[in-house]
Amino acid sequence: MPEILVVDDEPGIRELMREILEEEGFEVRMAEHGAAARAALDDKVPDLVLLDIWMPDVDGVSLLKEWKTQGRLTMPVVMMSGHGTVHTAVEATRLGAFDYLEKPVSYKQLLDTVRKALETRRPRPITSGSLGALGQGEAIRRLTQRLNLAASAGLPLLLLTRPGIGEEIVARFMTPPDGPFLRVDEPGQLADRPTDLLARAKNGLVYVPDLVALSTMQQRGLALLIARRAEFGARVVAASQQPLAHLLADGRVLQDLHDQLAHAVVELPTLAERREDIPALATRLLEDACARLLVPPRPLSEGALAALCAHDWPGNLAELEAVVGRLALETGEGAIETAVVTAMLGREEAETGRTGVDLMLHLPLKDAREAFERAYLEALLTECGWAMSKTAERAGLDRTNLYRKVKQLGIEAPGRDRES
C-alpha cells in the first residue's frame, strides 16, 4: 500500500490522521517538526506528504521550497494550515504543492485529496540511468528487465562476468536514484569494518568487484553486509568470473554466502552474444575517441562495421574501446575502410591470440593483468602440450596454484585435459 508521511507539530492531529489513513489501508509515518520530516525523507521517500505550514522550527512552505531546490520533490505534497491565507496557498502551489487543505480537515475531504494526489504520482525509478553504454539490443533489454526485477525484490546480486564486459556499468545502474555508489577496492574493509561500508552507502549501493579474491574473513564480512543491508536501505552487488556453484564445489566460497547470493545470479551477455550492438557502440566510441584525441571525426564504412561485428571480442567492451581508440589514430581521410579494420584485428590476433600489448594499454589495470595472464598461460600450456606439471615448472608456480589460476581465468584445454 502507499506510504504517507504526516508532518504536524500537534500530536492530536497527527494521531487522528494516522487513525483515519490506516483504517483506509495506507501505511503512515509521522514527523512532529521540520527536522524530523527531513530525517524521514532521508530515510525513505514516501508516496505522499501531508505537510503542516506552521511549525516551531521551520514553516512548511520553506521546507517545500527546500525540497524543490534540492530536486527532492519527487512525491506529491499536500499543505495544511489552520490559519492560512490565499497568498500562502498560491505560493505553496507555485512551489509544487499538489493541494492546500484548511484545518480542521473533514474526513471525506482528507481522503478525497489523498486519493487524487496519489493518482498523479509517477512511478519512481528504482535504478539509475540506463544500460545504453552497453548497447540497445534485445539482450540488453532482457538484462535491464532482470535487473529491475532484482532491484524491486531487494535481492543481493551476483554478476557473472567476463574480462572487459562492463560489470561496473551494471553495478552503477543498480544503484538507487540519487544514492551513493561505493566500490570496495580494498577487500580488507569487509573483514575490519563491514558496517562502516553500509553507513557510507546508506540508501545507495555497495559494489564488490571480485568475489573470488575475498578471503574467508572478507566473505563473512560480505555476508554480514547482505544480512544487514535493509537497515541502511542499501543494495549489495558482487561480481565473479567463476560460476557460484563451481566456487562452492572448490571450497572457495562460504556456504552461507553462496546461499545468500544464489537467488539472484545474473550472467552478463558477452559482446559476441550481442553482435547487433556493435555497430552503434563502435560508432559512438569512435566519436568519443576522436574528440578525446583531438583528431578530425571519421565514420566507419559498412564493411568496416561488418568486420568489427564478425570479430569474437574475447576482451568484450574494453577490447572494442581499445581497438576503436587505435582506429581513431589511423592516418587518412574519409571513412575508415574494411582493410584497415581487418589488418588491425589480424595484427592483434597474430601478436598474442587475444590482445596485444599496445591494446592492453587502453585497458583498466585489472583487465590488462587478466588478459596478459590468460594469454601467457594459454601460450605456455600449448607449448607444453597442456601438461600441467611441465607448465607449472616453466611458469615457476606450484601445480595447485596453476590449477587454481587456470580455473579462475576460465582457461579450458582443447579437447580433453591431459596430464603428464
Query: Domain limits of the chain?
Result: 3-120, 138-267, 273-360, 365-408
> 3-class SS at 52?
strand
Do 273-360 and 138-267 fall under one CATH topology?
no
Task: Provide the strand spans (E) within 226-286.
Answer: 235-240, 265-267
Report whether pLDDT(131) > 80.
Answer: yes
Question: Residue 380 is inside which H or E element, if any?
Answer: helix 365-383
Report whether pLDDT(183) > 70.
Answer: yes
Q: Worst-scoring range by mean pLDDT, 53-57, 325-329, 377-381? A: 377-381
Please report the pLDDT score of residue 406 as a whole number: 84
Question: What residues contact 111, with CB distance under 8 A and at least 6 apart?
Answer: 20, 24
Please report the pLDDT score of residue 58 as a whole number: 86
Report whether pLDDT(364) > 70.
Answer: no
At the topology level of CATH, where does 273-360 sit?
A: Helicase, Ruva Protein; domain 3 (1.10.8)
Q: In one letter, which amino acid is 273?
A: E
> Under a CB-based contact definition with an 8 Å cutoff, are residues 336 and 323 in contact?
no
Of 259, 216, 265, residue with least CA distance to 241: 265
CA–centroid distance for 192 within its chain: 25
Q: Which is it for the CA torsion 295, 299, 301, 302, positive or negative?
A: positive
Q: Worst-scoring range by mean pLDDT, 67-71, 173-177, 320-324? A: 67-71
CA dihedral 193, 197, 202, 204 (to 10 degrees): -160
Options 1.10.40.30, 3.30.70.260, 2.40.110.10, 1.10.10.60; CATH of 365-408:
1.10.10.60
Mean pLDDT of 139-148: 93
Q: Let me know how many helices (H) and strands (E) the chain has, helices first.
A: 20, 10
Please report the pLDDT score of residue 393 as a whole number: 84
Cell of 218: 572478507
pLDDT band at 353 (very low <50, low <70, confident <90, very high): very low
Question: What residues contact 378, with CB distance under 8 A and at least 6 apart?
Answer: 353, 354, 411
How does pLDDT run across 200-236, given as a tens digit for each residue? Answer: 999 999 999 999 999 999 999 999 999 999 889 899 9
Helices (H), 121-185: 138-153, 167-173
Class of domain 138-267 as given by CATH: alpha beta
pLDDT band at 157 (very low <50, low <70, confident <90, very high): very high
Of 173, 162, 368, residue with least CA distance to 267: 162
Q: What is the CATH number of domain 3-120?
A: 3.40.50.2300
Cell of 108: 471525506
Question: What residues contact 61, with CB distance under 8 A and at least 6 apart?
Answer: 53, 79, 88, 91, 92, 95
How far, CA to CA in Å, does 284 sit from each of 289, 297, 298, 324, 348?
Answer: 9, 11, 11, 10, 22
Q: What is the β-pairing status of strands 27-31 and 48-52?
A: unpaired
Query: Considering the entire predicted model, what is its pTM?
Result: 0.60
Mean pLDDT of 32-46: 89
* Residues of the chain above pLDDT 70, percent: 92
